[in-house]
Amino acid sequence: MIIERGSSELPEVDMFVTTADPELEPPIITVNTMLSLLAAEYPTDKLACYVSDDSASPLTFYSLVEAIKFAKLWVPFCKKYNVSVRAPFRYFKPDSQPCSNASSHDEFLQDWMKIKEEYGKLYLKIEDACKRIEPCDLSGDYSDFSNIDRRNHKSIVKVIHENKEAHSEGVSHVIYVAREKRPNYLHNNKAGAMNVLNRVSALMTNAPIMLNVDCDMYVNNPLVILQGLCFLLYDGGNDKKDYAFVQFPQNFYDGLKDDPYGNQMKVTQEFLARGMAGIQGPSYTGTGCLHRRKVIYGSSPDEKFIEGIQLSNENLQSTFGNSRELCESAAKVLQAKDLTVGGSTSSITNSVEAACQVANCAYEFGTGWGRKVGWMYGSVTEDTLTSLTIHARGWETAYCTPDPPAFLGCTPSNGPVIILQWKRWSTGLFEILFTSKSPLILTLARKLRFRQCLAYLRFLLWALRSIFEVCYAILPAYCIISNSSHFLPKINEAATMIPISIMVIYKLYTLSEYIQAGESLRAWWNNQRMWKVVAASSLLFGILSVGLKVVGLSETVFEVTRKDSTNGENDESNSDKGRFTFDESPMFIPGTFILLLNLTALLVFAFRTIYGNDANMMYLAEIICCKMVVIYFWAFFKGLFGRGNYGIPLPTIIKSGTLVLLVVQFGIRGKW
């Protein structure tokens, strides 16, 4: 299906891309994501792409400027030949071959070779710039980046490309945004960056629809915007639903077979997200989402805006800030009766000065940003907090799962990054329970449905799982070491069937979910194993982080996870893909401690069996549990003997071993 270019019935769409660190998130990834958005099957005169660079990096800006030169060739090529994959790094994979249904194959082949050559030049330019201290001469358009401090700089808004003639076949607007940073100001992580994009875009294009993606999530389905708009523009008569946003699932490219790190989340999306879609709708996951701007501005589905009352200048300024232009654009969106109303008729270049003003640190003080409007503050998982607020107003949301998948991203492929990612998720989700936007409070005070509340609690309470997982992993070993108590019924007692039955039923149920989702038995086992590892590291430290915040000792920190532009293909041999890696992070201490403690318990039992008279079958159930724990933490067992990144650092082993000696000492003396 190809749309008629320039259709006046389609709403304008502002597209947001967020990146935070050119080292952890290589610019070539951001460039490919931007290029895939620009080439989406939609009139280009109705699109605008905003790239938020939270590091104010001249390298990122340089890469985007160079990418626009290539985009002027890439976008027409994709639409002329109806290219299915519109991220160049995926379309021009090393093993790719030119393929087209075009009647003029020779013309296509000639264009294909030309575009591939140009992309190769772009890639080499960016890679070469990454190796230099300064990516280019920092003068002219780059003068704002001269001697810049990423933590202390003014706001920078630059129009990289403007579609001045409003051609539906050209390249859309592209705007670079680096919000102001000052050491004494709270910047609110990604939520703060999204709110700046919201305000800047409101002054420049003010589209009624916004699409946001992370820098590593490229457009895999060129019809994604049209497919999402099918929900937002749907008129079902009496059954009409006004959806607040349309969430697409997170899918990943080049995922390792059988999901060895347990982070592809296919089963979670297949069951939890679809289940929530049957209540009030799925939660916003931070990327791959189409939003109504008026919903982000605090609108409720049953709210009536009356000019001069709710939209008085005084109310607008107290909510949106003292920018007259921003208040006017907000009023325009809130008063609109349909999605075709919106947009700006003036040149976006004329709005740069006003855009820099609303991107300043102090602009939000005394306003409703982050509390009443925009992306919500108060958690490092701003996406869940924002969707909770939206659902609490009574909105419903939609879940769109097209084939092929709408977006594809890269997933972490080493142990430390995965553990860090899960820590950020568990910390952010758990801390929401201690805010005024806890689903328990919103269910009683607002319009969050009870079943939707339970669905949110299903993952907000993930961190608490670590307490029980760690206890279950430690208690059998302690019982054996102390030789004075039992954690489980004796193997010859009928009561033994109770824990065995519960475990078997639970495992069979989870296995059935993986089979229904099309996953393998090995993938199920890998996820079961990784849940134990994550519980004993990320989730445990997530509880600690939130606990320190609650008592006022520290604040939670948004930690950016490393993105790999090659997905690890050049970092490890094929035989080592999926092998767990370690670093000196303290988050690996609990897992190492659990493994060493259970190994010690097995050795103690073996010693008593061979040399003592007090060993018997009373501890058979505990022995089985200890062996299961060792199997679950087999990656750590191999890490005890591994080298380099594949080995557990010696300081971690020493600290864990010291804890084990303390447990053994107290256990033997019966003073636990």
Rounded-to-integer distance, Cα 671 and Cα 666, Å: 5
The CA-based angle 13-15-20, given to 5 degrees, is 165
Catalytic member of 53, 111, 216, 383? 383
Q: Catalytic residue at 383?
A: yes
Across 155-184, b (16+ Cβ under 10 Å) vs e yields bbbbbbbbbeeeebebbbbbbbbbbbbeee
Q: Catalytic residue at 106?
A: no
H or E stretch at 264: none
Question: Which are the contacts of 427, defined by CB distance < 8 A and separation ≥ 6?
Answer: 380, 381, 463, 541, 542, 545, 546, 556
Handedness of CA 565, 570, 574, 578 (dihedral sign): negative
Q: Is 239 annotated as a binding residue?
A: no
Q: Any bridge partners for residue 247, and if so which?
A: 289, 399
How many CA atoms within 13 Å lie on the side-chain side of 376? 25
Residue with tokens 């051609």: 167
| Measured CA distances, 247 to 197, 212, 281, 321 (Å) | 19, 10, 9, 29
Catalytic member of 14, 21, 53, 54? 54
In the DSSP assignment, the letter for residue 369 is B
| Measured CA distances, 180 to 149, 189, 361 (Å) | 11, 13, 6
User: What number of other Cβ atoms are within 10 A of residue 450's Cβ?
Assistant: 11
Q: Is 190 annotated as a binding residue?
A: yes
* Burial class of residue 511 in the structure, from the number of CB atoms within 10 Å of its CB (0-12 exposed, 13-18 middle, 19+ buried): middle
Q: Is 25 annotated as a binding residue?
A: yes
Q: Any bridge partners for residue 398, and if so which?
A: 246
Rounded-to-integer distance, Cα 266 and Cα 520, Å: 12
| Measured CA distances, 324 to 208, 355, 360, 516 (Å) | 19, 12, 15, 54
Which residues contribute to the annotated binding site for Mn(2+)? 190, 214
Residues serving a catalytic function are 54, 383
Binding-site residues sit at 25, 54, 190, 214
Query: Can you say which residues are annotated as belonging to the binding site for UDP-alpha-D-glucose?
Result: 25, 54
